[in-house]
Amino acid sequence: MWFALVAGLLFPLDAAEIPTLPLVDVFVNGQDGYPAFRIPALIATSRGTLLAFAEGRAHLRDHAENDIVLKRSTDGGKTWGPLQVVHEDGANSLGNPTAVIVRGTGRALLMYQRYAQGFDEHKAEPGLQGPRICRTYTQSSDDEGATWSRPVEVTAQVKRPTEVTSTAVGPGIGIQLRRGKHSGRILMPFNQGPFGKWKVYAVFSDDGGQSWRYGQTAPEGAAGHANEVQFAELKDGSILLNARNQGGGLKQRKTAVSHDGGATWSTTLHDPALIEPVCQASLLRHPGTGDPTSDVFLFCNPATQTGRTNGMVRLSRDDGKTWPLARVLYPGGFAYSCLTSLPDGSVGCLFERDGTTKISFARFSLDWIGNTGGH
Protein backbone atom coordinates (compact mmCIF):
# COMPACT_ATOMS: atom_id res chain seq x y z
CA MET A 1 0.00 0.00 0.00
CA TRP A 2 1.26 3.48 -0.86
CA PHE A 3 0.34 6.67 0.91
CA ALA A 4 -0.07 10.40 0.40
CA LEU A 5 0.86 12.63 3.34
CA VAL A 6 -1.17 15.82 3.72
CA ALA A 7 -1.25 18.06 6.82
CA GLY A 8 0.57 15.41 8.80
CA LEU A 9 -1.93 12.63 8.01
CA LEU A 10 -1.26 9.58 5.86
CA PHE A 11 -3.94 8.61 3.36
CA PRO A 12 -3.80 5.22 1.64
CA LEU A 13 -3.78 5.23 -2.16
CA ASP A 14 -4.32 2.43 -4.62
CA ALA A 15 -1.56 1.96 -7.19
CA ALA A 16 -3.92 3.19 -9.91
CA GLU A 17 -4.32 6.48 -7.99
CA ILE A 18 -0.60 7.28 -7.96
CA PRO A 19 0.24 9.33 -11.06
CA THR A 20 3.92 8.85 -11.79
CA LEU A 21 6.21 11.52 -13.14
CA PRO A 22 7.77 11.16 -16.58
CA LEU A 23 11.16 9.48 -16.14
CA VAL A 24 14.30 9.72 -18.25
CA ASP A 25 16.79 6.87 -17.85
CA VAL A 26 20.28 8.37 -17.54
CA PHE A 27 22.41 5.34 -16.63
CA VAL A 28 21.25 1.81 -17.49
CA ASN A 29 23.10 -1.34 -16.45
CA GLY A 30 24.78 -2.98 -19.42
CA GLN A 31 24.91 0.18 -21.51
CA ASP A 32 27.70 2.68 -22.23
CA GLY A 33 30.35 0.02 -21.59
CA TYR A 34 29.51 -0.70 -17.93
CA PRO A 35 27.70 -3.76 -16.53
CA ALA A 36 26.37 -1.72 -13.59
CA PHE A 37 25.87 1.84 -12.34
CA ARG A 38 25.23 3.01 -8.81
CA ILE A 39 25.44 6.02 -6.44
CA PRO A 40 23.85 9.03 -8.19
CA ALA A 41 24.82 12.66 -7.63
CA LEU A 42 23.19 15.61 -9.37
CA ILE A 43 23.96 19.33 -9.55
CA ALA A 44 22.83 22.20 -11.75
CA THR A 45 25.45 24.72 -12.88
CA SER A 46 24.89 28.46 -12.70
CA ARG A 47 24.04 28.36 -16.42
CA GLY A 48 21.52 25.57 -15.96
CA THR A 49 23.50 22.58 -17.22
CA LEU A 50 22.67 19.42 -15.28
CA LEU A 51 25.60 17.21 -14.27
CA ALA A 52 24.66 13.64 -13.34
CA PHE A 53 27.43 11.57 -11.73
CA ALA A 54 27.57 7.88 -10.89
CA GLU A 55 29.93 5.00 -10.31
CA GLY A 56 30.42 2.90 -13.44
CA ARG A 57 31.02 -0.61 -12.10
CA ALA A 58 32.27 -3.95 -13.41
CA HIS A 59 29.49 -5.56 -11.33
CA LEU A 60 26.98 -4.47 -8.68
CA ARG A 61 29.18 -4.95 -5.62
CA ASP A 62 30.51 -1.78 -4.00
CA HIS A 63 34.18 -2.22 -4.90
CA ALA A 64 34.08 -3.35 -8.52
CA GLU A 65 36.85 -1.44 -10.31
CA ASN A 66 34.51 1.57 -10.19
CA ASP A 67 35.06 4.60 -12.39
CA ILE A 68 33.55 8.05 -11.80
CA VAL A 69 31.31 8.77 -14.78
CA LEU A 70 29.15 11.69 -15.88
CA LYS A 71 26.37 12.65 -18.25
CA ARG A 72 25.29 16.23 -19.01
CA SER A 73 21.94 17.75 -19.95
CA THR A 74 21.46 21.23 -21.39
CA ASP A 75 17.66 21.03 -21.74
CA GLY A 76 16.54 20.56 -18.14
CA GLY A 77 16.92 16.80 -18.11
CA LYS A 78 14.83 15.95 -21.19
CA THR A 79 17.87 14.52 -22.97
CA TRP A 80 21.36 13.57 -21.85
CA GLY A 81 24.66 13.63 -23.69
CA PRO A 82 27.14 10.76 -24.07
CA LEU A 83 28.83 9.19 -21.08
CA GLN A 84 32.05 10.87 -19.94
CA VAL A 85 34.65 9.15 -17.77
CA VAL A 86 35.79 11.74 -15.21
CA HIS A 87 38.32 9.42 -13.53
CA GLU A 88 39.34 5.82 -14.26
CA ASP A 89 41.94 4.07 -12.13
CA GLY A 90 42.38 0.56 -13.50
CA ALA A 91 41.50 -2.21 -11.04
CA ASN A 92 41.21 0.24 -8.14
CA SER A 93 37.76 1.44 -7.09
CA LEU A 94 36.57 5.05 -7.04
CA GLY A 95 33.34 5.90 -5.25
CA ASN A 96 30.94 8.24 -3.45
CA PRO A 97 30.75 11.07 -6.01
CA THR A 98 29.66 14.24 -4.21
CA ALA A 99 29.48 17.59 -5.98
CA VAL A 100 28.83 21.27 -5.38
CA ILE A 101 28.79 24.45 -7.50
CA VAL A 102 31.02 27.22 -6.10
CA ARG A 103 29.05 30.44 -5.87
CA GLY A 104 30.55 33.36 -7.77
CA THR A 105 32.96 31.37 -9.92
CA GLY A 106 30.47 28.76 -11.14
CA ARG A 107 33.11 26.07 -10.74
CA ALA A 108 31.82 22.52 -10.42
CA LEU A 109 33.68 20.78 -7.62
CA LEU A 110 33.68 16.99 -7.26
CA MET A 111 34.99 14.89 -4.35
CA TYR A 112 35.23 11.09 -4.03
CA GLN A 113 37.20 8.20 -2.52
CA ARG A 114 39.70 5.66 -3.87
CA TYR A 115 40.34 2.13 -2.62
CA ALA A 116 43.21 0.04 -3.93
CA GLN A 117 42.23 -3.29 -5.41
CA GLY A 118 41.44 -5.77 -2.64
CA PHE A 119 41.17 -3.15 0.12
CA ASP A 120 37.58 -2.07 0.60
CA GLU A 121 36.09 -0.42 3.70
CA HIS A 122 36.31 -3.74 5.55
CA LYS A 123 40.07 -3.98 4.97
CA ALA A 124 41.23 -0.37 4.74
CA GLU A 125 43.99 0.58 7.15
CA PRO A 126 44.40 3.73 9.27
CA GLY A 127 46.97 6.36 8.45
CA LEU A 128 47.66 8.81 5.67
CA GLN A 129 50.25 6.87 3.68
CA GLY A 130 50.62 3.39 2.25
CA PRO A 131 48.96 1.21 -0.40
CA ARG A 132 46.09 0.01 1.80
CA ILE A 133 44.54 3.29 2.93
CA CYS A 134 41.35 4.92 1.70
CA ARG A 135 42.22 8.10 -0.22
CA THR A 136 40.14 11.15 -1.15
CA TYR A 137 40.42 13.20 -4.34
CA THR A 138 38.90 16.34 -5.82
CA GLN A 139 38.43 17.41 -9.41
CA SER A 140 36.92 20.58 -10.84
CA SER A 141 35.40 21.89 -14.04
CA ASP A 142 35.10 25.48 -15.24
CA ASP A 143 33.23 24.72 -18.48
CA GLU A 144 29.89 23.24 -17.40
CA GLY A 145 31.37 19.78 -16.86
CA ALA A 146 32.69 19.41 -20.41
CA THR A 147 36.26 18.92 -19.19
CA TRP A 148 37.79 18.23 -15.78
CA SER A 149 41.03 19.02 -14.00
CA ARG A 150 43.44 16.30 -13.03
CA PRO A 151 42.63 14.58 -9.71
CA VAL A 152 44.11 16.24 -6.63
CA GLU A 153 44.61 14.12 -3.52
CA VAL A 154 43.32 15.73 -0.32
CA THR A 155 43.42 12.69 2.00
CA ALA A 156 45.47 14.37 4.74
CA GLN A 157 43.05 17.33 4.77
CA VAL A 158 39.89 15.26 5.27
CA LYS A 159 40.95 12.16 7.23
CA ARG A 160 42.21 11.84 10.81
CA PRO A 161 45.74 10.39 10.87
CA THR A 162 45.08 7.64 13.42
CA GLU A 163 42.33 5.08 14.13
CA VAL A 164 40.14 6.05 11.14
CA THR A 165 40.12 3.42 8.39
CA SER A 166 37.52 4.25 5.75
CA THR A 167 36.13 7.66 4.85
CA ALA A 168 33.14 8.42 2.63
CA VAL A 169 31.93 11.76 1.36
CA GLY A 170 28.15 12.05 0.96
CA PRO A 171 27.24 10.59 -1.41
CA GLY A 172 25.11 13.31 -3.00
CA ILE A 173 25.87 17.03 -2.77
CA GLY A 174 27.91 19.47 -0.75
CA ILE A 175 26.64 22.92 0.24
CA GLN A 176 27.96 26.48 0.38
CA LEU A 177 26.75 28.66 3.23
CA ARG A 178 24.93 31.93 2.51
CA ARG A 179 24.27 33.24 6.02
CA GLY A 180 26.15 34.16 9.18
CA LYS A 181 29.84 34.52 9.95
CA HIS A 182 30.80 31.52 7.82
CA SER A 183 29.02 32.70 4.67
CA GLY A 184 30.85 31.38 1.61
CA ARG A 185 32.16 28.27 3.37
CA ILE A 186 31.87 25.05 1.35
CA LEU A 187 30.96 21.96 3.34
CA MET A 188 31.23 18.34 2.30
CA PRO A 189 29.41 15.76 4.46
CA PHE A 190 31.60 12.83 5.59
CA ASN A 191 31.46 9.61 7.55
CA GLN A 192 34.41 7.62 8.83
CA GLY A 193 35.05 4.01 9.86
CA PRO A 194 36.15 1.52 11.23
CA PHE A 195 33.41 -0.58 9.69
CA GLY A 196 30.46 -0.90 12.03
CA LYS A 197 31.55 2.05 14.18
CA TRP A 198 30.82 4.91 11.82
CA LYS A 199 30.82 8.57 12.80
CA VAL A 200 29.80 11.63 10.77
CA TYR A 201 31.45 15.03 10.46
CA ALA A 202 32.00 17.98 8.13
CA VAL A 203 34.92 18.78 5.86
CA PHE A 204 35.03 22.46 4.93
CA SER A 205 36.84 25.00 2.77
CA ASP A 206 36.98 28.78 3.12
CA ASP A 207 38.93 29.36 -0.10
CA GLY A 208 36.64 28.00 -2.78
CA GLY A 209 37.79 24.42 -2.48
CA GLN A 210 41.53 24.99 -2.73
CA SER A 211 42.17 23.62 0.78
CA TRP A 212 40.14 21.70 3.34
CA ARG A 213 39.83 21.12 7.10
CA TYR A 214 37.76 18.66 9.09
CA GLY A 215 35.60 19.23 12.14
CA GLN A 216 34.70 17.05 15.08
CA THR A 217 32.44 14.02 14.74
CA ALA A 218 28.82 14.29 15.87
CA PRO A 219 28.28 12.70 19.33
CA GLU A 220 25.89 9.75 19.20
CA GLY A 221 22.87 10.15 21.45
CA ALA A 222 20.58 7.52 19.97
CA ALA A 223 20.74 3.86 19.00
CA GLY A 224 22.80 3.03 15.95
CA HIS A 225 25.55 4.85 14.07
CA ALA A 226 25.09 7.82 11.76
CA ASN A 227 26.42 6.85 8.34
CA GLU A 228 25.87 8.30 4.85
CA VAL A 229 25.01 11.94 5.45
CA GLN A 230 23.78 15.18 3.87
CA PHE A 231 23.66 18.81 5.07
CA ALA A 232 21.30 21.77 4.68
CA GLU A 233 21.72 25.35 5.90
CA LEU A 234 19.18 26.63 8.42
CA LYS A 235 17.72 30.15 8.35
CA ASP A 236 20.17 31.40 10.98
CA GLY A 237 23.24 30.02 9.21
CA SER A 238 23.45 26.89 11.34
CA ILE A 239 23.69 23.53 9.59
CA LEU A 240 21.34 20.57 9.80
CA LEU A 241 22.83 17.10 9.46
CA ASN A 242 20.64 14.24 8.24
CA ALA A 243 22.15 10.75 8.22
CA ARG A 244 21.41 7.13 7.52
CA ASN A 245 20.94 5.20 10.76
CA GLN A 246 23.11 2.11 10.62
CA GLY A 247 22.26 -0.51 13.25
CA GLY A 248 20.44 -0.02 16.51
CA GLY A 249 17.15 -1.42 15.30
CA LEU A 250 15.21 1.84 15.04
CA LYS A 251 14.80 2.64 11.35
CA GLN A 252 14.54 6.41 11.59
CA ARG A 253 16.90 9.06 10.22
CA LYS A 254 19.43 10.71 12.52
CA THR A 255 19.81 14.48 12.78
CA ALA A 256 22.12 16.94 14.51
CA VAL A 257 22.88 20.69 14.24
CA SER A 258 26.11 22.70 14.03
CA HIS A 259 26.18 26.34 15.17
CA ASP A 260 29.84 26.93 14.27
CA GLY A 261 30.09 26.22 10.56
CA GLY A 262 30.51 22.46 10.88
CA ALA A 263 33.31 22.46 13.44
CA THR A 264 31.16 20.78 16.13
CA TRP A 265 27.71 19.16 16.29
CA SER A 266 24.92 18.61 18.76
CA THR A 267 24.18 15.06 19.87
CA THR A 268 22.35 13.05 17.22
CA LEU A 269 18.62 12.47 17.59
CA HIS A 270 16.14 10.30 15.72
CA ASP A 271 13.52 11.98 13.52
CA PRO A 272 10.42 9.74 13.84
CA ALA A 273 8.82 11.43 10.82
CA LEU A 274 11.62 10.26 8.53
CA ILE A 275 11.45 6.49 8.42
CA GLU A 276 13.90 4.48 6.35
CA PRO A 277 14.84 0.89 5.49
CA VAL A 278 18.52 1.84 6.20
CA CYS A 279 19.52 3.62 3.01
CA GLN A 280 21.14 6.79 1.73
CA ALA A 281 18.77 9.76 1.33
CA SER A 282 18.77 13.26 -0.15
CA LEU A 283 18.28 16.58 1.69
CA LEU A 284 17.99 19.92 -0.09
CA ARG A 285 17.32 23.54 0.82
CA HIS A 286 15.32 24.74 -2.17
CA PRO A 287 15.33 28.51 -2.71
CA GLY A 288 12.21 30.63 -2.75
CA THR A 289 11.73 32.96 -5.70
CA GLY A 290 13.71 36.04 -4.71
CA ASP A 291 12.73 35.67 -1.06
CA PRO A 292 14.99 33.65 1.29
CA THR A 293 12.17 33.41 3.85
CA SER A 294 10.21 31.29 1.39
CA ASP A 295 12.95 28.64 1.08
CA VAL A 296 11.78 25.11 1.80
CA PHE A 297 13.52 21.88 2.77
CA LEU A 298 13.03 18.79 0.62
CA PHE A 299 13.84 15.25 1.69
CA CYS A 300 13.78 12.16 -0.51
CA ASN A 301 14.24 8.49 0.39
CA PRO A 302 12.53 5.09 0.28
CA ALA A 303 9.76 5.87 2.79
CA THR A 304 9.37 2.46 4.35
CA GLN A 305 11.05 0.42 7.07
CA THR A 306 10.81 -2.88 5.21
CA GLY A 307 12.72 -2.46 1.93
CA ARG A 308 14.12 -0.11 -0.66
CA THR A 309 10.87 0.88 -2.35
CA ASN A 310 8.24 3.64 -2.27
CA GLY A 311 10.45 6.62 -3.10
CA MET A 312 8.89 9.71 -1.52
CA VAL A 313 9.61 13.44 -1.52
CA ARG A 314 8.73 15.39 1.65
CA LEU A 315 8.49 19.16 2.11
CA SER A 316 9.17 21.26 5.21
CA ARG A 317 8.59 25.00 5.63
CA ASP A 318 10.15 25.19 9.12
CA ASP A 319 13.77 24.11 8.50
CA GLY A 320 13.04 20.41 8.84
CA LYS A 321 11.20 20.52 12.17
CA THR A 322 8.05 19.09 10.58
CA TRP A 323 7.27 17.52 7.20
CA PRO A 324 3.55 18.20 6.58
CA LEU A 325 3.55 17.52 2.81
CA ALA A 326 4.79 14.48 0.94
CA ARG A 327 4.19 12.62 -2.28
CA VAL A 328 5.34 9.34 -3.78
CA LEU A 329 7.78 10.03 -6.60
CA TYR A 330 8.22 6.39 -7.64
CA PRO A 331 6.31 3.54 -5.96
CA GLY A 332 8.53 0.69 -7.16
CA GLY A 333 12.10 -0.25 -6.27
CA PHE A 334 13.85 2.91 -5.05
CA ALA A 335 17.29 3.20 -3.43
CA TYR A 336 19.86 6.06 -3.48
CA SER A 337 18.73 9.49 -4.69
CA CYS A 338 19.92 13.07 -5.16
CA LEU A 339 17.81 16.23 -5.34
CA THR A 340 18.90 19.50 -6.92
CA SER A 341 17.31 22.91 -7.51
CA LEU A 342 16.78 23.88 -11.14
CA PRO A 343 17.01 27.45 -12.48
CA ASP A 344 13.27 27.72 -13.24
CA GLY A 345 12.30 26.93 -9.63
CA SER A 346 11.53 23.28 -10.22
CA VAL A 347 13.40 20.35 -8.67
CA GLY A 348 15.32 17.50 -10.26
CA CYS A 349 15.78 14.06 -8.72
CA LEU A 350 18.28 11.46 -9.90
CA PHE A 351 17.57 8.08 -8.33
CA GLU A 352 18.27 4.36 -8.46
CA ARG A 353 15.25 2.22 -9.30
CA ASP A 354 14.02 -1.28 -10.02
CA GLY A 355 16.63 -3.26 -8.13
CA THR A 356 19.38 -0.73 -9.00
CA THR A 357 19.15 -1.74 -12.67
CA LYS A 358 19.05 1.90 -13.78
CA ILE A 359 19.46 5.47 -12.58
CA SER A 360 16.67 7.76 -13.75
CA PHE A 361 15.82 11.46 -13.68
CA ALA A 362 12.50 13.05 -12.71
CA ARG A 363 11.51 16.69 -12.58
CA PHE A 364 8.73 18.24 -10.49
CA SER A 365 7.42 21.50 -9.05
CA LEU A 366 6.73 22.29 -5.40
CA ASP A 367 3.02 22.41 -6.25
CA TRP A 368 3.25 18.77 -7.37
CA ILE A 369 4.23 17.65 -3.86
CA GLY A 370 1.08 19.02 -2.29
CA ASN A 371 -1.20 17.87 -5.10
CA THR A 372 -2.31 14.24 -4.78
CA GLY A 373 -3.88 14.14 -8.23
CA GLY A 374 -2.15 14.78 -11.55
CA HIS A 375 1.05 16.70 -12.16
DSSP calls for 112-177? EEEE-TT--TTT--SSSSSTTS-EEEEEEESSTTSS-PPPEE-HHHHS-SSS---EEE-SEE-EE-
CA–CA distance, 267 with 264 (Å, rounded to integer): 10
Cα–Cα distances in angstroms (integers) from residue 82 to residues 71, 72, 179, 303, in the given order: 6, 8, 38, 32
Q: Is 54 left (phi over 0), alpha (psi -120 to 50) or beta?
A: beta
Residue 141 CB-half CA count within 13 A: 23
Give the helix/strand (H/E) hosting 68: strand 67-73
CA–CA distance, 32 with 70 (Å, rounded to integer): 11
CA–CA distance, 253 with 279 (Å, rounded to integer): 9
One-letter identity of residue 131: P
Active site residues: 62, 228, 336
CA–CA distance, 56 with 85 (Å, rounded to integer): 9
Q: Which residues pair with 284 in a beta bridge?
A: 298
> What is the number of residues in the chain?
375
329 in Cβ contact with 312 (< 8 Å): yes
Give the helix/strand (H/E) hosting 368: helix 366-370
Maximum Cα–Cα distance for the chain, whole Å? 57
Give the helix/strand (H/E) hosting 86: strand 84-87
One-letter identity of residue 246: Q
Q: In what order do the strands lie in the sheet with 225-233?
A: 225-233, 239-246, 252-258, 269-275
**Best CA proximity match to 265, nearest among 203, 219, 308, 229:** 219
